[in-house]
Amino acid sequence: MARLGSVMVEALVLEEGPHGVLRRLAHPFWFQALGCVMGMDWHSSGITTSVLGALKRGLLGREHELGLTVCGGRGRHSRKTPGELVQFGERTGVDGQALARTSRLVAKVDSALVQDGFDLYLHGFVVANDGAWTVVQQGMDPGRRQARRYHWLSEGVRSFVEEPHAAIEGRPWGEVVNLTDRRAAASREATLELSREPERVLRELPRLRMPAHHEVRKSDVFLRRLHGTLAAARDAGPRDFPELLLQPGVGARTVEALAAVAEVLHGAPCRFSDPARFSLAHGGKDGHPFPVPLRVYDRTISVLKQAVSAARLGRTEKIDAIRRLDEQARRLEGTVAGPQLEEHIEVERALSHEYGGRDVSGPAQPESKQQLPLFSAS
């Protein structure tokens, strides 16, 4: 995950710069899709910890090159964030003390001004070399075993105490005292003590509601988008990647995973309303929708690294081809037919051992082989 995350960030920096990466991390559906394509349990609150941890490890030592630094983390690591930001300031000349104050203030807002029953346990602070930042925090309601994620983006913050969030995502439970709502200005001005009165319940932001079930179901995936991705990989991939497909070990399955990665890199925000779909690229470590195909995963990383390295030298053919996979998938949506979701997952499970499939229980075992249903024009 650290290797794939770092090369995807590198590709995004080439395309959109460090600020583009910050904007994407601040988008909750994109963040969830990133975790899915990296192989984390698609529906799990652990995606937040895993994505931030993988990016922190993957970018370590490359902060100056990529212009991004990941600070903080879960539990005790979150409490180290201010000190890490002070050190960041010493390296870059940015006011690290001001960033450390921002880190503490953001945590205080989401624990005190937004009183929703979720206790913060994770604080990730991603900062660009010029001081722009994104914060991703997560809280847990231990009684219901549900998580809520809070996204911040510095360029959108006009006030830390009035509608500062880029998004708040999580299943709604009970009443929420949201004193960051603009309609709570009178309450904020009237007292230094935070009100806990139920009549202060104001509004709730749109949220990404992740189901409790582990398996990926038809209701979790826009099937026409999946068919577009599969068709782009099988029909367009060989045409756009002739040199790539000559490399040992790279075939249609790798291009299929690359098509999903391409959408995470280049897709519009509306494309991430079904993040479960991206778990079909590299599976999940809990075995849902299928074990992580390590050989495909490694090839995805290898292809991306080669494309990014070539692009840095001015040779953009491979990275442009990856972008075209996303464009072709969108064009093919609604014009191709393909397997039902259950059939697709069943085939992936049957072939998992051939791809080096593995989940938390161990290596995938051979099953009876099946032929993947063919696409047909409609």
More confident residue, 199 or 349: 349
- At residue 239, the pLDDT reads 57
| More confident of the two residues 197 and 218 | 218
Give percent of the chain with pLDDT exceeding 70.
81
Residue 376, pLDDT score:
41
With contact defined as beta carbons under 8 Å apart, do 181 and 163 qualify? yes
Chain segment 49-63, per-residue pLDDT in tens: 999 999 999 999 999
Rounded to a whole number of angstroms, the distance between the first and last alpha carbons of the chain is 37
Question: For residues 362-374, b (16+ Cβ closer than 10 Å) or e, as one string?
Answer: eebeeeeeeebee
Please report the beta strands in 175-236, taking only residues with DSSP state E, as ranges in sequence order: 177-178
Report pLDDT for 233: 72
Mean pLDDT value across residues 283-289: 91
| Pick from 94, 25, 98, 100: nearest CA to 59 | 25
CB atoms within 10 A of CB 142: 10
pLDDT digits (tens, 9 = 90+) for 33-42: 999 999 988 7
Lowest mean pLDDT among 95-99, 234-238, 256-260, 310-314: 234-238
What is the C-alpha separation between 308 and 24, in angstroms, rounded?
19
pLDDT at 172: 63
- How many angstroms separate the CA atoms of 184 and 203, rounded? 10
pLDDT at 241: 54
Over the stretch 298-326, which tens digit does the pLDDT of each residue have?
999 998 998 899 999 898 988 888 888 88
For residue 245, how many other CB atoms are within 10 A of its CB? 15
Check pLDDT > 70 for residue 290. yes
What string of H, E and C letters represents the secondary structure of 51-81?
HHHHHHHHHCCCHHHHCEEEEEEEHHHHHHH
Residue 110 amino acid letter: D
Contact 106, 152 (CB under 8 A): yes
Q: How far apart are CA 213 and CA 288, in angstroms?
A: 10
Phi, psi of 293 (to 5 degrees): -80, 95
Show the tokens assigned to 56. Answer: 């922190």
- Residue 372 near residue 339, CB atoms below 8 Å: yes
Q: What is the pTM of this model?
A: 0.80
Question: With 80 as the cut, is the pLDDT of residue 91 above it?
Answer: yes
4-8, 77-81, 138-142: which has the minimum mean pLDDT? Answer: 138-142
CA 27-45-113 angle, to 5 degrees, is 65
* DSSP at 201: B
Q: Which two tokens stand for residue 355?
A: 């791809």
Answer yes or no: are the C-beta atoms of 235 and 331 closer than 8 Å: no
CA 285, 288, 294, 298 torsion-angle sign: negative
β-strand partners of 73:
123
Asked if 262 and 325 count as a contact pair (C-beta separation under 8 A), the reply is yes
Band of the pLDDT at 193, cuts 50, 70, 90? Answer: very low
Q: With 80 as the cut, is the pLDDT of residue 8 above it?
A: yes
Phi then psi for 169, rounded to 5 degrees? -125, 130
Q: What is the mean pLDDT of residues 349-365?
A: 92
CA triple 7-8-11, angle to 5 deg: 85
Mean pLDDT for the chain overall: 83
Percentage of the chain exceeding pLDDT 90: 46
Per-residue pLDDT, averaged over 202-221, amounts to 64
Q: How far apart are CA 76 and CA 362, in angstroms?
A: 30
Q: What kind and span of H or E run contains 67?
A: none
Domain boundaries, the chain: 45-200, 218-377
